[in-house]
């Protein structure tokens, strides 16, 4: 399949790997920001094949995993209101909140429906005019345009029973927050491909400029990632960090203008609560005042107990890149995909699920 097969070519991968080994003379600590990259790296065993000096750490780029327990608790509280239908992506169902999960709430008769897009959620709203339909809007800049489009469509079509619990998050500000925390001394970041299709590569330019950290935007196939590692190692070896794009077939420097305008029409930048990191100013999207009647947090009154983290779960440390799933005492014994303790074992992009599935020892 064009644009996929050639990025899985083993012979080409061996050549790139040989080049990386040739140019690598000093330690290079890299973070793959995105959960999709973590899964691809684990699935193809790339981590073990890289030269010993090239270290790869997973970052916080899994939308389900970084959703704070307090926000999951809000979704569950909304689900318990009368005449409310919750619509959500399937990954969210099994994520444990502080006291329950959406799956448990559904077992207790809450009306919670799995959708594949905001269009599905809008359709549920149209088909159930006497109910309030709330879409759980998690995700990064990748999904924010479709959430914005759904709000605009509801406005234009006069759909009055559609609401969004807006939990959208922004990637460059959380990269800045991680760098400011200073827990990790990173040399390079593999920047997220899908997010960058929307925002372009320019929003990362502060990273090499202010932090001296190399950045390459990568696609998701093994060769995409290897080429990105090669570009990062070259930047690190020459001491000239900058932002480069290895994912040229999807990303340009300026991003997708239509999607950015759409996002800006509906949302403004606000604070967001990140699991393991906390509330970070200007790292999320909130619905603008003009469209606030679609904002579930403003339209409904709910009370939630103070949030608490699952005992023994180190998802927060894993999302900050300071620990790996194998450091968790609960990994694979108490915490499994069937009985997840934390979100990193639930999500298809979660590190713990990837380590579990692809057999890292
Ligand atoms: Fe949390 Fe389970 Fe991962 Fe441990 S293995 S960090 S409990 S999700």
C-alpha 20/C-alpha 222 separation (Å) is: 14
pLDDT given at position 93: 95
Q: Strands 243-245, 132-137: parallel, antiparallel or unpaired by DSSP? A: unpaired
Pocket test for ligand 1, best of 340, 347, 350 (most atoms within 8 A of CB): 340
Q: Whose CA is nearest to atom 8 of ligand 1?
A: 342
C-alpha 183/C-alpha 227 separation (Å) is: 27
C-alpha 46/C-alpha 67 separation (Å) is: 28
143 close to 89: Cβ distance less than 8 angstroms: no
| Residue 82 in tokens | 């009368």
16 lines ligand 1 (CB under 6 A): no
pLDDT digits (tens, 9 = 90+) for 247-301: 999 899 999 999 999 999 999 999 999 999 999 999 999 999 999 999 999 999 9
pLDDT grade, residue 14 (50/70/90)?
confident
165 lines ligand 1 (CB under 6 A): no
Pocket test for ligand 1, best of 94, 323, 341, 346 (most atoms within 8 A of CB): 341
pLDDT grade, residue 319 (50/70/90)?
very high
- Model confidence pTM above 0.85: yes
- Would the CA dihedral through 35, 40, 44, 49 be positive or negative? negative
C-alpha 300/C-alpha 344 separation (Å) is: 29
Q: Whose CA is nearest to atom 7 of ligand 1?
A: 313
Q: Residue 35, class by beta-carbon neighbours within 10 Å (0-12 exposed, 13-18 middle, 19+ buried)?
A: buried
CA of 354 to the centre of ligand 1 (A): 12
CA of 347 to the centre of ligand 1 (A): 11
Range in 9-13, 269-273, 346-350 with the lowest mean pLDDT: 9-13
Ligand 1 atom closest to residue 344's alpha carbon, by position in its atom list = 8
C-alpha 297/C-alpha 291 separation (Å) is: 12
CA of 45 to the centre of ligand 1 (A): 21
Q: What is the pLDDT of the chain when averaged over all its residues?
A: 95
C-alpha 76/C-alpha 307 separation (Å) is: 12
In percent, the amount of the chain with pLDDT more than 70 equals: 97
C-alpha distance across the termini of the chain, in Å: 33
Ligand 1 atom closest to residue 329's alpha carbon, by position in its atom list = 4
Rounded to an integer, the average pLDDT of 231-246 is 97
Pocket test for ligand 1, best of 314, 317, 337, 357 (most atoms within 8 A of CB): 314
353 lines ligand 1 (CB under 6 A): no
Q: Strands 278-287, 267-274: parallel, antiparallel or unpaired by DSSP? A: antiparallel
pLDDT given at position 361: 54
329 close to 312: Cβ distance less than 8 angstroms: yes
313 lines ligand 1 (CB under 6 A): yes
Pocket test for ligand 1, best of 324, 352, 355, 357 (most atoms within 8 A of CB): 352
128 close to 136: Cβ distance less than 8 angstroms: no
How many helices (H) and strands (E) are present in the chain, helices listed first?
16, 11
Pocket test for ligand 1, best of 326, 339, 344, 349 (most atoms within 8 A of CB): 344
| Residue 256 in tokens | 């997708």
C-alpha 292/C-alpha 299 separation (Å) is: 8
335 lines ligand 1 (CB under 6 A): yes
CA angle 302-307-179, nearest 5°?
A: 120
Range in 11-15, 91-95, 182-186, 313-317 with the lowest mean pLDDT: 11-15
- Of 178, 211, 217, the closest CA to residue 197 belongs to 217
CA of 74 to the centre of ligand 1 (A): 22
Which residues in the chain belong to E strands, given as ranges?
A: 28-34, 54-61, 84-88, 111-114, 132-137, 162-166, 188-191, 214-217, 243-245, 267-274, 278-287
> Listing from the earlier edge strand, what are the strands of the sheet with 162-166?
111-114, 84-88, 132-137, 162-166
Rounded to an integer, the average pLDDT of 132-157 is 98
- Residue 1 predicted with pLDDT over 80: no
């Amino acid at each position: 399949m064009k644009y996929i097969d050639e990025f899985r070519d083993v012979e080409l991968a061996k050549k790139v790997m040989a080049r990386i080994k040739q140019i690598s003379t000093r330690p290079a600590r890299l973070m793959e920001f995105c959960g999709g990259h973590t899964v691809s790296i684990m699935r193809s065993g790339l981590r073990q094949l890289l030269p010993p000096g090239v270290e790869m750490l997973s970052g916080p780029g899994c939308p389900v995993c970084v959703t704070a327990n307090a926000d999951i608790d809000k979704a569950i509280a909304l689900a318990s209101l009368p005449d409310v239908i919750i619509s959500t992506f399937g990954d969210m169902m099994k994520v444990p909140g502080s006291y329950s999960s959406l799956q448990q709430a559904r077992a207790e008769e809450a009306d919670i429906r799995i959708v594949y897009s905001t269009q599905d959620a809008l359709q549920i709203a149209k088909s159930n005019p006497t109910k309030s339909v709330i879409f759980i809007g998690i995700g990064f800049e990748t999904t924010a345009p479709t959430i914005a489009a759904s709000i605009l469509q509801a406005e234009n079509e006069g759909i009055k029973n559609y609401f969004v619990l807006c939990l959208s998050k922004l990637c460059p500000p959380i990269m800045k927050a991680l760098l400011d925390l200073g827990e990790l001394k990173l040399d390079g970041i593999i920047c997220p491909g899908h997010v960058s299709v929307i925002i372009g590569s320019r929003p990362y330019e502060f990273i090499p400029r202010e932090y001296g950290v190399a950045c390459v935007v990568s696609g998701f196939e093994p060769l995409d990632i290897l080429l990105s590692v090669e570009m990062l190692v070259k930047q690190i070896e020459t001491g000239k960090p900058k932002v480069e794009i290895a994912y040229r077939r999807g990303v340009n420097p300026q991003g997708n203008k239509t999607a950015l305008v759409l996002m800006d029409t509906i949302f403004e930048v606000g604070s967001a609560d990140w699991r393991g990191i906390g509330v970070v100013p200007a790292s999320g999207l909130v619905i603008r005042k003009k469209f606030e009647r679609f904002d579930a947090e403003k339209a409904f009154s709910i009370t939630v107990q103070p949030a608490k983290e699952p005992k023994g779960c180190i998802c927060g440390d894993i999302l900050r890149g300071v620990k790996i799933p194998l450091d968790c005492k609960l990994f694979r014994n108490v915490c499994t995909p069937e009985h997840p303790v934390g979100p990193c074992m639930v999500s298809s992009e979660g590190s713990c699920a990837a380590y579990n599935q692809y057999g890292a020892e």
